[in-house]
Structure 1
Amino acid sequence: MKSKKELRLQMKLTIAAQGTKKPRVDEAILQNLINLSLLSEARSLAAFLAIEHEPDLKNFLQHWLRQDKQLLLPRFNSRVKAYELVPVNNLQQDLEEGHYGIWEPAAALDKIEFTELFPQAWLIPGLAFSPDGARLGRGAGYYDRLLAKVKAPIVGVCLEYQILPEIPSCRHDVKMHYLLTETRIVNCTRPQEQRW
């Protein structure tokens, strides 16, 4: 099995070779998110704003807000070098460019404390995932620290080519409960033969 460092390099090259995403891929992911029952039942959601290779969730997040549900987005706190969650009501007015050039909730907005089961669901990005729920991030561990005590369902959102047969994981790595791509939803908690 390749090391995380080797996989990160491999995935960065693969992503660069894929070029820009087509809108129909994001539309297919939108439909899979809308059809995911755990999200239709949830009233609160922690999600992300896409960078580079990540699926663009803005249409889904707008759909979520139109249903009068609570949306929380990560904001980087450079003082403690960690993400904090901030409620957002309007994607046009409540965001500003933040750490690493990533759009995030404005500094004027108050963060919110979260618990094991609040928010009720999480959407998480990554460079790659494996069917057992392992996630390959960028290497800083920000999401693993954010998710360390979360018991609510965690959904890794990616493009199909970002699912690899296996990814090495450490004790502190947080596993996804589901993977969602433009073509399928994988239940990572099921036995291997029942995941697809």
Structure 2
Amino acid sequence: MDINKEKNIIRKQIKYIKSKLNAEDKLLLSKPIILNLENNNDFINSTCILAYWSMNDEVNTHAFVQKWSSSKDIYLPVVKGNMLEFRLFTNINNMEKESEFGIFEPKGKILKDYTIIDLAIIPGVAFDNHNNRLGRGLAFYDKILKSIDAKKIGICFNFQILDIIPTENTDIKMDMIISSKP
């Protein structure tokens, strides 16, 4: 089977599972994942982080970003055409809703020097036991992550971790996956 077809089948399966969860369920399932992330040494020792403002089908990062932005520099993605740029999160009032994907994006300063990043916290549709990541299919993160030397941590719900997912040379591996598993 064609690798893109395999990836799309997995995307549809995960989307179906997520569709069975309401917002309250996802928020409840997100809490132990965020706690595991906050207890991770790479996170504890980081001062400059790439993260994301979660969409409604992802591990909820809203409280996490707001909590830690007072003591760490947290940069969030902003969609620019077919690329991502990262902007500093300052506060919830400095966010605006992006029209194409309906994502809230920060209006803070643009990150120009990726060498200052200590840690990248990355969402995904699915991950596997070999730290491979399957995204939404637009390669937004793969394009930017190839130029970031910082540790890359994927965060996800337990059902998003599969034994193996199909990969291509352009897919960027994570250094670690954090879910609610201890």
TM norm structure 2:
0.90
Contact kept, 8 Å, 1:33 with 1:60, in 2: the verdict is: no
One-letter amino acid of the counterpart of residue 181, structure 1: S
Contact kept, 8 Å, 2:26 with 2:60, in 1: the verdict is: no
One-letter amino acid of the counterpart of residue 59, structure 1: A
User: 2:44 maps to which residue?
Assistant: 40
Deviations 1:126-179 (A, max 9, x none): 111001111111101111001111111111011001001101111110001111
Q: 1 CA distance for matches of 2:168 and 2:160?
A: 20
One-letter amino acid of the counterpart of residue 137, structure 1: G
User: 1:96 maps to which residue?
Assistant: 96
- How far 1:100 moved relative to its partner? 0.5
One-letter amino acid of the counterpart of residue 113, structure 1: K
One-letter amino acid of the counterpart of residue 86, structure 2: L
Q: 2 CA distance for matches of 1:23 and 1:12?
A: 17
Secondary structure at the aligned position of 1:93 is classed as: helix
- How far 1:22 moved relative to its partner? 4.5
Q: 1 CA distance for matches of 2:137 and 2:34?
A: 27
Structure 2 residue ranges without an equivalent (≥5): none
Q: 1 CA distance for matches of 2:86 and 2:145?
A: 11
One-letter amino acid of the counterpart of residue 12, structure 1: K
Secondary structure at the aligned position of 1:112 is classed as: coil
Secondary structure at the aligned position of 1:100 is classed as: coil
Q: 1 CA distance for matches of 2:96 and 2:42?
A: 29
Q: 1:63 to 1:168 in 2, by over 3 A?
A: same
User: 2:57 maps to which residue?
Assistant: 53
User: 1:147 maps to which residue?
Assistant: 145
Q: 1:149 to 1:22 in 2, by over 3 A?
A: closer
One-letter amino acid of the counterpart of residue 62, structure 1: Q
- How far 1:25 moved relative to its partner? 2.0
Contact kept, 8 Å, 1:158 with 1:180, in 2: the verdict is: yes
Q: 2 CA distance for matches of 1:62 and 1:103?
A: 13
Structure 1 residue ranges without an equivalent (≥5): 185-196
User: 1:24 maps to which residue?
Assistant: 28
Q: Are 1:64 and 2:68 counterparts? A: yes
CA RMSD in angstroms, aligned pairs only: 1.7
Deviations 1:65-113 (A, max 9, x none): 232x1110000112xx2000111211x122111131011113xx43121
One-letter amino acid of the counterpart of residue 160, structure 2: Q
TM norm structure 1:
0.84
- How far 1:62 moved relative to its partner? 2.1
Aligned residues: 177
Contact kept, 8 Å, 2:11 with 2:125, in 1: the verdict is: yes
